[in-house]
């Protein structure tokens, strides 16, 4: 098959969960015998020169990028709020230059299927339908409106809470329209599949998780020192929110249980107001790290404290794949059907989370079995080639 994939950011380099999920899907579809073209918005927030993508990758997947500034602009946001019913967070990605490139690509090649990586690329469905009969598949990494509605619940500022609720409501309508206008729906978790069903969606599709190429994740010995780590994009509100909650409610108790603890935090684009919260003698903030795998391998226990979100947290899967015990919250583990207490530690209560972390940090008889079980869980359920084979076979049955 000849497949065109539309993305709202270039999936290279694969440093964040979304980029990893997209790039692994691209390479998986390639490895299962498909011709793959990826048309991306190369944003000013995450810029990367296409010519610097490794030659061997560009030789097997065609990458086309459209440079654009999709940053939030206050005047545009206000205009959208007053004069539009579209969610501003989605309308930022509807670009004339991208439309021109999209039309040119479709007219140049005979695509069998166009895959939208997330609902925001749904704003181009009208243009796609006008020039091709190719099937359109929506690969839903999460339900965007759920993330923002959960954020609104936790927002204390009444004005911001009102805006977040308004945004979530617009996003819900927008997402449902994109799903209905697509031919196929590909959620990446069973939980998201159930959420779509609760919204009344009855669309042909297949539920498949994001995958990992396990050869990139070698097992290493668990460090003996009681080192805790977090890794995730710190320009993403749910990560900021969850980490701030952890620092307020868990970390002080944890330091009393494990006085020799060291907490290592990695993440890009943290605002200055947030980095001030990381000013603690037992915390080292590394900023964005060049090699996420090496960072994870350097420390003992991963913590992923999330209060809002949807989809699958790829960084949790990476931590498990690299043989690191992972402690998270109930929201953090949504979409990953691991056995709680065996393959991953899951606690909602701050005191119970601190106690669980203390055991993993200091006791090999707790940490090593969980590390082994987590690795085996990822090997069994999240292999990129196996997942992409199923996706490719499904697409072939539909086009």
What domains appear along the chain, each with residue ranges and CATH number? 2-211+383-398 (3.40.50.2000), 216-381 (3.40.50.2000)
- Rounded CA gap, 295 and 258, in Å? 22
CA distances from 135 to 76, 115, 140, 387, 389 (A): 33, 8, 16, 20, 18
Residue 29: Cβ within 10 Å count: 24
Residue with tokens 């977040």: 164
Name the token pair of 376.
């085996």
Q: What is the pLDDT along the chain (399 residues), one digit of tens a residue?
A: 999 999 999 999 988 888 999 999 999 999 999 999 999 999 988 889 999 999 999 999 999 999 999 988 999 998 999 999 999 999 999 999 999 999 999 999 999 999 999 999 999 999 999 999 999 999 998 888 888 887 888 788 999 999 999 999 999 999 999 999 999 999 998 888 988 999 999 899 999 999 999 999 999 999 999 999 999 989 888 899 999 999 999 999 999 999 999 999 999 888 888 999 999 999 999 999 989 999 999 999 999 999 877 678 999 999 999 999 999 999 999 889 999 999 999 999 999 999 999 999 999 999 999 999 999 999 999 999 999 999 999 999 999
Q: Please write the tens of the pLDDT for every residue from 130-180.
A: 999 999 999 998 888 888 887 888 788 999 999 999 999 999 999 999 999
Tokens of 372: 């082994």
Q: What is the pLDDT of residues 313-336, one digit of tens each?
A: 999 999 999 999 999 999 999 889
- In angstroms, the Cα distances linking 230 to 18, 176, 254 are 17, 33, 15
Q: Cis (ω within 30 of 0) for the bond into 13?
A: yes
Using only the alpha carbons of the chain, give its radius of gyration: 21
Provide the pLDDT for residue 310: 67
What is the pLDDT at residue 163?
Answer: 93
CB 178 within 8 A of CB 90: no
- Residue 333 gets which letter from DSSP? T
pLDDT of residue 142: 84
* pLDDT recorded at residue 335: 85
3-state SS, residue 6: strand
The answer to whether 150 and 144 are in contact (CB under 8 A) is: no
How many residues does the structure list for the chain? 399
């Amino acid at each position: 098959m000849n497949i065109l994939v539309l993305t709202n950011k270039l999936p290279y380099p694969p440093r964040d969960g979304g980029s990893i999920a997209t790039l692994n899907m691209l390479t998986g579809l390639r490895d299962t015998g498909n011709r793959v073209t990826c048309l991306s918005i190369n944003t000013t927030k995450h810029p990367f020169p296409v010519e610097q993508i490794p030659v061997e990758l560009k030789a097997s997947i065609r990458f086309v990028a459209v440079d654009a500034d999709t940053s939030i602009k206050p005047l545009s946001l206000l205009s959208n709020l007053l004069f539009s019913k579209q969610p501003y967070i989605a309308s930022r990605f509807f670009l004339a230059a991208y439309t021109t490139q999209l039309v040119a690509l479709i007219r140049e090649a005979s695509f069998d299927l166009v895959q939208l990586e997330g609902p925001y690329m749904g704003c181009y469905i009208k243009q796609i339908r006008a020039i091709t009969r190719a099937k359109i598949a929506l690969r839903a990494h999460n339900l965007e409106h759920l993330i923002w509605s959960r954020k609104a619940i936790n927002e204390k500022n009444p004005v911001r809470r009102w805006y977040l609720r308004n945004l979530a409501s617009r996003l819900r309508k927008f997402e449902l329209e994109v799903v209905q206008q697509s031919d196929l729906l590909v959620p990446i978790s069973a939980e998201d599949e159930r959420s779509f069903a609760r919204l009344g969606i009855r669309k042909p599709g297949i539920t498949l998780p994001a995958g990992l190429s396990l050869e990139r994740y070698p097992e290493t010995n668990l460090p003996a020192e009681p080192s805790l780590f977090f890794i995730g994009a710190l320009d993403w509100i749910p990560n900021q929110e969850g980490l701030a909650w952890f620092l307020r409610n868990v970390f002080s108790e944890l330091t009393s249980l494990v006085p020799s603890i060291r907490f290592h935090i990695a993440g890009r684009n943290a605002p200055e107001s947030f980095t001030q919260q990381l000013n603690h003698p037992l915390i080292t903030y590394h900023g964005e790290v060049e090699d996420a795998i090496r960072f994870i391998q350097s420390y003992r226990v991963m913590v992923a404290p999330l209060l809002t979100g949807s989809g699958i947290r790829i960084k949790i899967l990476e931590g498990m794949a690299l043989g690191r015990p992972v402690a998270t919250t109930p929201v953090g583990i949504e979409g990953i059907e691991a056995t709680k207490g065996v393959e991953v530690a899951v606690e909602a209560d701050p005191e119970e989370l601190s106690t669980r972390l203390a055991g993993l940090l200091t006791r090999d008889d707790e940490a090593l079995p969980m590390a082994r079980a987590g690795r085996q869980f990822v090997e069994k359920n999240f292999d990129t080639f196996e997942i992409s084979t199923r996706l490719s076979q499904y697409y072939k049955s539909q086009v």
